[in-house]
Chains A and B, each alone.
Chain A
């Protein structure tokens, strides 16, 4: 009885570690659970998708109260873990998650100018789609690592 509860808690810990690793580094959850080649392929695919998005002048989203869908897009970006920080630094040259209020004049204008500079690029929409897709891919990888961890998937 004692042994099985110990096994259960160690398996729960394994699942949590796999999911956290999967969020921090795409594919790391699979790698940790022994699916090493899959983990490396996932890392390559998500990284290439994200970097292509940045190269195509895509941007990460900022939560904007007037645009409720921007919260979902920001959440999809956040699923990339630390890669999202790189995206925010590349887009806005700072780590920011919420669009500044108009009353914060200097910040508001600066973020607006940086956003406009990206939007003017011909490939902006494609780039943003690539970045969002990379985030959604990683979200699926976290769920997949969870399924492997609890034994729902072999």
Chain B
């Protein structure tokens, strides 16, 4: 698996699921929190990537 985007999505899902399980008591709340965390991480990463697109590569 060499797709950077898929690796980032997998990472976000795992970290989101971890913190959701750590901080929520019911399964329903945990699933909602995990989805929110994962989507937020992917969304913020895409926004940062979009901003960085305009930065010069240097060299």
Contacts and interface: CB of A to CB of B under 8 A. Distances in A.
Interface of A: 37-38, 41-42, 45-46, 48-49, 52, 55-56, 122-123, 126, 129-130, 133, 137, 140-141, 144
A45 B7 CA distance: 15
A49 B1 CA distance: 14
A45 B1 contact: no
User: Which 7 pairs show the lowest CB-CB distances between chains A and B?
Assistant: A126-B7, A45-B18, A41-B21, A49-B14, A137-B18, A122-B2, A45-B17
B18 A56 contact: no
B15 A144 contact: no
Name B's interface SS. helix
Contact of A45 (B2, B14, B27): B14
20 contacts: A37-B27, A38-B21, A41-B17, A41-B21, A42-B18, A42-B21, A45-B14, A45-B18, A49-B18, A52-B10, A56-B1, A122-B2, A123-B7, A126-B4, A130-B11, A133-B11, A133-B15, A137-B18, A140-B22, A141-B22
B11 A45 contact: no
Interface string B1-39: 110100100110011011001100001000000000000
A41 B26 CA distance: 13
Contacts of B21: 38, 41-42, 45
B6 to A, nearest CB: 10
Which of A41, A122, A129 has the largest count of B CB atoms less than 10 A from its CB? A41
Nearest to A55: B1
Nearest to B15: A133
A140 to B, nearest CB: 7
Q: Which of B1, B15, B21 has the most CB of A within 10 A?
A: B21
